[in-house]
Amino acid sequence: MDEKIVLALAGNPNAGKTTLFNALTGARQHVGNWPGVTVEKKEGTLKHSNREIHVVDLPGTYSLTAYSLEEIIARNFIVEGSPEIVLDVVDASNLERNLYLSVQLLEMGAKVVMALNMIDVAEGRKIRVDHSRLEELLSIPVIPTNGKKGVGISELLDRAVHEVEYSNDKPRSIIQYGTEIEEELSKVEEKLDRMIFRLGKLSNRWIAVKLLEGDSEIAKKLDGLEGRDRILAQVEQSRRHLTDIFADSPEILFTDARYGFISGAIKQSVHVETADRVHLSENIDKVLTNRVLGPVILLAVLYSVYLFTFQGSEPLVDSFETFFKWLGNLVSDAMPEGMLRSLIVSGIIDGVGGVLGFTPLIAFMFLAIAILEDTGYMARIAFMLDRVLRGFGLHGASMLALMVSGGIAGGCAVPGIMATRTMKEPKERLVTILVAPLMNCGAKLPVYALLIGAFFPGGKAQIMFLLTIVSWAMALTAAKIIRSTVLSGPSAPFVLELPPYRIPTLRGLLIHTWERTWMYVKKAGTVILAVSIIIWAMMTFPSLPAEQAKSFDQRISKLSSEFLALPTAHELFKTEGDLEDFEAFRKQLADGKAKDAENQKPEFLALAQALGYESKKLKIDDSRKAAMAQLADSYTRYAEEKNSLENEKQSAGLKHTLGGRIGVALEYVFKPMGFDWRTNVALVGGFAAKEVVVSTLGTAYSMGEVNRKEAVSLAERLKTEPGWNPLLALTLIVFVMLYNPCFTTLVVIGRESGKWRWSLFAMVYTTTLAYCMAFLVHSVGSLLKLGV
């Protein structure tokens, strides 16, 4: 005979567990007490399929949380007694209450076979349980039984033996608790991983859940271990954080999530013919998740989010842009011209400032997302879109990962990819990991905001709404192709937790918004600052060769000499110094800072008036207007030619730098999309982080300026830059949306997939997709002359 199987019989009180125990073991029973306590312990043996099965009847309990003695005994036996299989007895007529224990068993990673007991009682109450559907959803065997009549006993034992012999030890179903709780779980789990702590066959994730629930029995298991204090300190910090965010204890949060999971399973597998009282959340769900009204309401909500984000943040974004423009001019005026000024103004202020300028927009977006999450509507979005995901080869759990990655806009692919850890089917998990970077993460928002604000000022919310649709369309299409080719296979069932609706607390919303916005600001002050300085160096060195620079200077000097030689000019400008003095005066007039106009030469005032500058201080004799008009025409031609030469010199200098050479080398590749060499450099910088695209454009166009005093915001520069138009802006937006994941995301893809080749695959396929879609947008737009 093969090795003996230890089978633990678990279930709620009054679920028919004792009756089923008797049906299994007959007279072969032994009754005693559990060690150290007076709680009755019943054991029995039987033989089935040539195997001896030792059955241990655990105390009836509603959960495995260590509150009562019965719960502690039941859990400790599963943890320390290591039964080969747990037979979970549930009352089919009261599934919601009974499944709570089932969910906890699944979270532990125990091998479970469910006995759907008292099925006759359920039928008498007009409750019909689709056990096949329930089996699919829980990914464990579910066998209808009747302990009194012995119905289903043989099949129950068959499945139990099969599970022992053929199933693996991995958790069968793990609940996704939502972004905030999952982040805290990851922190505790990471501390446990570092101290190489293990509790039997249980995963550190389950231990982390128990610690956050305040389970003192699990906490005692850490006593005497190195690193215990660090873990408990993290647990306490995480518990306080969750309490601050949700205004509820972690125990309640975990309980709500489990019942949400159970509610989803029951909705899909139980049909009740009798009318019961419906909870408020269910009444709301009848409208919000309705097959017809639900999608319409969802689209309206998303559109409202974008209106709120762009219109609400616009005054603050304008103020931030004005501040950084003022700061750049202030530093430029205060410092002598040279390398240090260029680094601070062009490298840091224009680079990092270009990203920080969109901080209000990011904060408004995060606030909107926090409202959707804290009310419980985000879970309903996932519930509705789950139906769509099935058709594209994705799993229902993919919805959560994609939403975290930026399904609405403003997320991040890194936690989104890590959220796939709860997915059981490897291929579905991997395809979710690979398409998550196509979502509109928060790092892409500054690029969108810059280009939409510059070229589509009247339709910001509409364009952002369109980009969300495009992002989802690309992700789903990519998933369908990948699932049909390199990762083909069947889909696993999914149950989505539907938490009860809540009224968000102001404190929770502010904490959510602040924490996520601060991460954005901190990234701008670290990663983006470093990359901006590197980009500045790439756009500065090597400098233009002395001979080439001298050639430009000689051409400019010759142009000035030719202008001074003109009879009309020679009378006013005796030397190049006079010409420089007038140029400085003209700039003062342009900036509205000509405080000493009355002290200028009358000829300077006359020429300024002829050039179109109006001022109360410009009182010129009418007799000189004709001569000054002729001189103004000559000066205008001279100024334009000189400015053209200076710009040509700046452009040549930039193209000679390392960054310029890279951009020029890529021009042939990106020419079909209309990108110039400066845009190419920005896209290369975006490989590190997508926000760098904005900072690099700011640096590149700032360093191309001849006159800092005439500096404007990056959006204004692009609007007036030759070659830029709405079509080019839209083409760049599409490319940035889809191309290569940032460096951090690539690292996480490799780590979570277990193979670095998938990071390479993600890099290649996303960039190829981006190139094809951007080329299509630009080609069709050019053909139809849209936005040109």
The full set of domain ranges for the chain reads 5-166, 179-273, 282-542+657-788, 546-650
Q: Give the residue among 140, 143, 141 at the shortest CA–CA distance from 151.
A: 143
Query: pTM value?
Result: 0.65
Give the span between the Cα atoms of 432 and 461, in whole angstroms.
Answer: 28
Please name the residue that has the structure tokens 């606030």.
Answer: 367
| Residue 144: its H or E element | strand 142-144
Q: Give the residue among 520, 460, 444, 465 at the shortest CA–CA distance from 737.
A: 444
The partner residues of 85 in beta bridges, in order of sequence, read 7
Q: What is the DSSP letter of 32?
A: E
Q: Residue ranges for the binding site for Mg(2+)?
A: 22-23, 25-26
**φ/ψ (deg, to 5) at 44:** -160, 170
CB 234 within 8 A of CB 187: yes
pLDDT score for 277? 38
CA 109 to each of CA 56, 158, 203, 212: distance values in angstroms, whole numbers, following the listed order: 19, 21, 7, 18
First to last CA, the chain: 82
Give the span between the Cα atoms of 704 and 381, in whole angstroms.
Answer: 46
| Cα torsion angle, 213, 217, 218, 223, sign | positive
pLDDT score for 591? 64
Give the span between the Cα atoms of 698 and 715, in whole angstroms.
Answer: 9
Report strand pairing: 5-11 vs 270-272: unpaired
Q: Give the residue among 546, 580, 538 at the shortest CA–CA distance from 696.
A: 538
**Within 10 A of 121 (CB to CB), how many other CB atoms are there?**
15
Task: Say what angle helices 293-334 and 280-288 make with each other, to 10 degrees.
Answer: 80
Q: Give the residue among 117, 79, 120, 78 at the shortest CA–CA distance from 99.
A: 117
Give the span between the Cα atoms of 690 and 678, in whole angstroms.
Answer: 15
Give the span between the Cα atoms of 295 and 291, in whole angstroms.
Answer: 7
The amino acid at 7: L
Helix (H, G, I), strand (E, B) or coil at 48: strand
Report strand pairing: 270-272 vs 127-129: antiparallel
Q: Residue ranges for the binding site?
A: 11-18, 22-23, 25-26, 36-40, 57-60, 117-120
Give the span between the Cα atoms of 316 and 322, in whole angstroms.
Answer: 10
How big is the CA angle at 20 (ends 19 and 21), to the nearest 5 degrees? Answer: 90
Give the span between the Cα atoms of 433 and 439, in whole angstroms.
Answer: 11
Give the span between the Cα atoms of 6 and 161, in whole angstroms.
Answer: 10
CB within 8 Å of 260: residues ≥ 6 apart: 379, 497, 498, 499, 500
| Alpha helix (H) residue ranges in 657-725 | 658-670, 677-685, 692-703, 714-720
Q: Give the residue among 58, 57, 125 at the shortest CA–CA distance from 91.
A: 125
Helix (H, G, I), strand (E, B) or coil at 152: coil
**Within 10 A of 442 (CB to CB), how many other CB atoms are there?**
25
The amino acid at 455: F
| Residues across the chain | 788
Give the span between the Cα atoms of 477 and 673, in whole angstroms.
Answer: 22
The partner residues of 30 in beta bridges, in order of sequence, read 43
CB 94 within 8 A of CB 62: no
Domain 179-273, CATH number (from 2.60.120.960, 1.25.40.420, 3.40.50.300, 1.10.287.1770): 1.10.287.1770
Give the span between the Cα atoms of 563 and 72, in whole angstroms.
Answer: 96
**φ/ψ (deg, to 5) at 91:** -85, 110
Give the span between the Cα atoms of 447 and 452, in whole angstroms.
Answer: 8
Q: Residue ranges for the binding site for GTP?
A: 11-18, 36-40, 57-60, 117-120
Please name the residue that has the structure tokens 């140029």.
Answer: 583
CA 573 to each of CA 560, 583, 604, 631, 640: distance values in angstroms, whole numbers, following the listed order: 11, 11, 10, 11, 18
Q: Give the residue among 463, 447, 465 at the shortest CA–CA distance from 357.
A: 447
Give the span between the Cα atoms of 427 and 425, in whole angstroms.
Answer: 6
* 295-328: pLDDT as tens digits: 899 888 888 887 888 788 889 988 998 898 899 8
**Within 10 A of 702 (CB to CB), how many other CB atoms are there?**
24
CB 67 within 8 A of CB 221: no
* Domain 179-273 in the same topology as domain 5-166: no
DSSP 203-224: -HHHHHHHHHTT-HHHHHTTTT
Assigned CATH topology for domain 5-166: Rossmann fold (3.40.50)
CB within 8 Å of 688: residues ≥ 6 apart: 527, 531, 742, 743
- In the β-sheet with 142-144, what is the strand arrangement from edge to edge? 29-33, 40-48, 51-57, 5-11, 85-91, 112-117, 142-144
CB within 8 Å of 181: residues ≥ 6 apart: 212, 242, 250, 253, 254, 257
Q: Give the residue among 343, 350, 344 at the shortest CA–CA distance from 323.
A: 350
Give the span between the Cα atoms of 344 and 321, in whole angstroms.
Answer: 17
Low pLDDT (below 50) residues in the chain:
1, 37-38, 275-278, 706, 708-711
